[in-house]
């Protein structure tokens, strides 16, 4: 096996990096995951994840974790309600009886990010994850890399895999290609004990997802574990909106005032979100890697997930692509048909870039549709045409 007697460093302990570590350990590889969080109890940010049969679920199945997933996914969290700015319901599939069929292409079960991370962490061999490892830099040493971390620790690896997300510090060692701004910014909020703190919104949500469209602006939200709700105000804005605007994201009253001015036609039911969310709110300008990006494969370095192919979230493909990256990379690195690590990495990267570009284009197009003047009618047409047997 190409990886025999090799030290493998995965930088980043998100779903992609952890999935890769598990898959490689199943093949007998020596793997360490270097994660900047202090420990496994760090709060995981972001909305729940819907996994797809051909990617995220396929990776979990290969990792022998599909049964754990089935015991922990959020039943009903994939139910969707579409409303206008006045919170009038135009579409709901809550009354449609859906078979929980993991073999159906349109079944996309949702799981809380923190729960998925816990499943992956607990599946790994003891001491696989090196916590409090904030990557700073690395340099070539022998045939591998010497990695430097903020805590003063240095470590050698024969092979480094960047799984360190959208702001990857390792990606520049492979390519200087940078992402471009999509034109859309999202303001993220999170609400604890939602049933009590935002009763009207919670009643509308019904444990699933709500997509609200109006006047080229959106509110997107979904049920999270432990009674939490995550939401995003999504709108077109200049790239530097968050730094240019005079707005304290830790001040709920200021953010509510901003919302009232930015979304003037919207019902006051949405005010509950901004009045009761934890602070600070998090502005997230949405970026995408160029669809035609390419670079020369190296024998000792590669990347996966957002580090490799950052894309907008409007097709639900980010985590699925990252976990499929992990699956395909693990198979390439352990395949007997490749004579060198560079051949294996090149084969993986070529295919990864091709399929990621297709998904990124779809995500960009969906983002445009969701922020268009006719977004409500467009999304109603789309959801009404999707049937689940």
d(CA 295, CA 173): 11
39 is in an annotated binding site: no
Look at the chain and count its residues.
Answer: 389
158 is in an annotated binding site: no
103 is in an annotated binding site: no
CB atoms within 10 A of CB 234: 25
Q: Which two tokens stand for residue 283?
A: 């502005």
Packing angle of the helix pair 113-123, 15-26 (nearest 10 deg): 20
SS3 per-residue string spanning the chain: CCCCCCEEEEECCCHHHHHHHHHHHHCCCEEEEECCCCCCCCCCCCCCEECCCCCHHHHHHHCCCHHHHHHHCECCCCCEEEEECCCCEEEECCCCCCCCCCCCCCCCCEECHHHHHHHHHHHCCCCCEECCCCEEEEEEECCEEEEEECCCCEEEECEEEECCCCCCCCHHHCCCCCCEEEEEEEEEEEECCHHHHCHHHHHHHCCCEEEEEECCEEEEEEECHHHCEEEEEEEECCCCHHHHCCCCCCCHHHHHHHHHHHCCCCCHHHHHHHHHCCCCCEEEEEEECCCCCCCCCCCCEEECCHHHHCCCCCCCCHHHHHHHHHHHHHHHHCCCCCCCHHHHHHHHHHHHHHHHHHHHHHHHHHHHHHCCCCHHHHHHHHHHCCCCC
306 is in an annotated binding site: yes
Q: Which residues participate in the annotated binding site?
A: 43, 50, 113, 306
Q: Which residues participate in the annotated binding site for NADPH?
A: 43
Q: Which residues participate in the annotated binding site for FAD?
A: 50, 113, 306
């Amino acid at each position: 096996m190409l990886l025999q007697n090799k030290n493998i460093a995965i930088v980043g302990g998100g779903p992609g990096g952890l999935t890769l570590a598990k898959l490689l350990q199943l093949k007998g590889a020596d793997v360490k995951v270097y994660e900047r969080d202090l420990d496994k109890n760090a709060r995981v940010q972001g909305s729940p994840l819907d996994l797809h049969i051909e990617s995220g679920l396929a990776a979990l199945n290969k990792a022998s974790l599909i049964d754990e997933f089935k015991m922990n996914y959020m039943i009903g969290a994939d139910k969707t309600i579409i409303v206008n700015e006045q919170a009038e319901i135009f579409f709901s599939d809550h009354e449609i009886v859906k078979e929980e069929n993991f073999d159906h292409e349109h079944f996309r079960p949702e799981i809380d990010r923190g729960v998925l991370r816990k499943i992956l962490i607990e599946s790994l061999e003891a001491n696989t994850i090196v916590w409090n490892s904030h990557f700073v830099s690395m340099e070539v040493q022998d045939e591998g890399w010497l990695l430097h971390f903020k805590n003063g620790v240095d470590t050698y690896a024969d092979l480094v895999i960047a799984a360190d997300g959208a702001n990857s510090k390792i990606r520049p060692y492979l390519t200087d290609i940078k992402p471009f701004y999509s034109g859309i910014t999202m303001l993220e909020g999170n609400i604890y004990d939602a049933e009590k703190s935002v009763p009207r919104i919670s009643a509308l949500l019904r444990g699933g997802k709500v997509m609200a469209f109006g006047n080229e602006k959106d509110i997107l939200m979904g049920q999270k574990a432990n009674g939490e709700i995550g939401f995003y105000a999504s709108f077109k804005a200049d790239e530097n909106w968050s730094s240019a605007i005079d707005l304290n994201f830790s001040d709920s009253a200021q953010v509510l005032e901003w919302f009232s001015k930015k979304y003037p036609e919207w019902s006051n039911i949405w005010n509950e979100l901004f009045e009761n969310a934890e602070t600070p709110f998090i502005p997230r300008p949405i970026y995408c890697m160029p669809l035609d990006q390419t670079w020369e494969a190296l024998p000792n370095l590669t990347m996966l997930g957002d580090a490799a192919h950052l894309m907008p979230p409007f097709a639900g493909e980010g985590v699925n692509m990252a976990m499929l990256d992990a699956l395909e990379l693990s198979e390439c690195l352990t395949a007997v048909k490749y004579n060198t690590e560079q051949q294996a990495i090149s084969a993986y990267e070529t295919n990864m870039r091709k399929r990621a570009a297709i998904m990124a284009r779809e995500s960009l197009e969906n983002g445009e549709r969701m922020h268009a003047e006719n977004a409500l009618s467009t999304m109603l047409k789309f959801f009404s045409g999707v049937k689940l047997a």
